Copies of this chain bind each other. A is one copy, B any other.
Amino acid sequence: VLKLPKKMKKILKNLWNVGKEDPRRVIHAMKVGVALTLVSLLYLMEPFFKGVVKNALWAVMTVVVVLEFSAGATLRKGLNRGLGTLIAGSLAFFIEWVAIHSGKVLGGIFIGTSVFIIGSTITFMRFIPYIKKNYDYGMLVFLLTFNLITVSSYRVDTVIKIAHARLYTIGIGIGICLVMSLLVFPIWSGDDLHKSTFTKLQGLSRCIEACVHEYFEDKEKDQESSDSESDDEDLIYKGYKTVLDSKSADEALAMFAKWELRNTRLCHKFPSQQYIKVGSVLRKFSYTVVALHGCLQTEIQTPRSIRILFKDPCVRLAGEICKVLSELSENIKNRRQCSPEILSDSLEAALKDLNSTIKSQPKLFLGSNLHSNITNKHLNGDVSHYNDTNSHDIVSYHNDNNSNGCVLGQTVEQNDTVSPLPLNSVVSLSSLRSVKKSAATGEKRRLRKQLSKIAVMKSLEFSEALPFAAFASLLMEMVARLDTVIDEVKELGTIACFKEYDKTVEVRVEKPVNLVVGD
């Protein structure tokens, strides 16, 4: 007995959340209630509409079925229902006419056959993608009406009268639906599509930010606040998942928006197709984000000590990408065209910066063999005894090569570090020395349980910077794809007649764009 109030409380909380998520749902529910009450009044007013009331159930049915959440969806269903009923009625009348003129038995057979043929044909036609997308409900109504009229009229012999009354009541139902959905707190699918587009852009921006943040975060900090990491994970996952899963929802919204014959201020038509295009470009963009996220979860991790070397340029480049995305989002939100120099010089500078940093650290991409090489040499402290160590190196390397049995063009390298700034050099070398340790302990902790079975992966010694190379090249790929996103958003701005770009309007970006990582 005590459990019941608890369960009730849970259900009520659930309902409350549904309403809080989108308050328009409450409005829509009220609208349906009012519409149904209005239709019910038809019965009470029987004296005024004598013929109608008998068929008033069709009005109720219409309201229940046609009144949808958004104006576009209601219009679409109303038109489908109206057309379906009209065409089905005409066809049923024709068949009825033929049946009456061919005698009782023959007429019965004729009606039976036509019911079978029309039923099969319409059902089959509903599988055609174009019809399924646009007229599925109309087909259903057609089938329903046709069967009801044909079969019942065979008895009643008053097709026209029935059809007339039915159309009349359905008309009343559709009328109430239209008033409710177009005039009383209308909900436009076009607005939802617009909102979903700029929300996705913002989400992607935050997602990239979180990705880069986590990639360069200090290991120690992670353990202290594992909550915040899983929060980050959640943010990243949600960010691109929303974009990837948006396809069908966006297409439905665009389809409904097509029916909303509403002018957007200056333009003639709502550019739903262009929103779809932006969505699909964004989905392609987010594939890169997914791959970037994969770099965080991957089996073969670049040690944090190496990552830290590239932190600043990577964070800077990611910050620039996020800035562009946020700017695009803000522009769409405020229906403004975007600045022609949205791909700014600072993005270019950030790219070049990352480039030169990678070039200045070529050693890192040579594999762990080489790290130990470097470290050994410096431990010996013998930079001047060059030729000695050199010849020794060659010999030892040859042996290695043979045992590995590599076939392709074999190259042997010597490496040496002579730095103009001894302090800097020491810093980078000590960090290199710590690589092996942190890699050994860090990797074990990182491995997810189900992955630990692949002993293969652990036993291999890939160049430890190779995964970072993937990370960096994904960031650059992102810049390339960003361009297609910008193109489509600009196109959207033109087609949708957004406000002209105004230099004096400062773009207000909600979050600080310069990433602060691990500070």
Contacts and interface: CB of A to CB of B under 8 A. Distances in A.
Contacts of A405: 356
A343 interface: yes
Interface stretch (A74-82, A94-102, A475-483): A475-483
B366 A408 contact: no
Nearest to A353: B406
A210 to B, nearest CB: 17
Nearest to A290: B287
A505 interface: no
Interface in A461-519: 461-463, 466-467, 469-470, 472-474, 476-477, 479-480, 483-484, 487
Interface residues of A, number: 139
A363 interface: yes
In this complex, the member of A56, A60, A143, A461 whose beta carbon has the largest number of chain B beta carbons within 10 angstroms is: A60
Nearest to A362: B366
A29 B483 contact: no
Interface string A270-311: 000000000000000001101100100011100000000100
27 contacts: A18-B127, A18-B128, A22-B127, A29-B120, A32-B119, A33-B123, A36-B147, A40-B115, A43-B154, A44-B108, A60-B147, A65-B140, A287-B290, A290-B290, A356-B404, A358-B462, A360-B411, A361-B408, A362-B370, A365-B366, A409-B428, A410-B421, A410-B425, A413-B416, A450-B487, A456-B479, A457-B480
Interface of A: 14-15, 18-19, 22, 25-26, 28-30, 32-37, 39-41, 43-44, 46, 53, 56-57, 60-61, 64-65, 108, 111-112, 115-117, 119-121, 123-125, 127-128, 140, 143-144, 147-148, 150-152, 154-155, 244-245, 247-248, 287-288, 290-291, 294, 298-300, 309, 312, 343, 347-348, 351-352, 355-363, 365-367, 369-370, 386-387, 394, 398, 401, 404-421, 424-425, 427-429, 431, 450-451, 453-454, 456-457, 460-463, 466-467, 469-470, 472-474, 476-477, 479-480, 483-484, 487
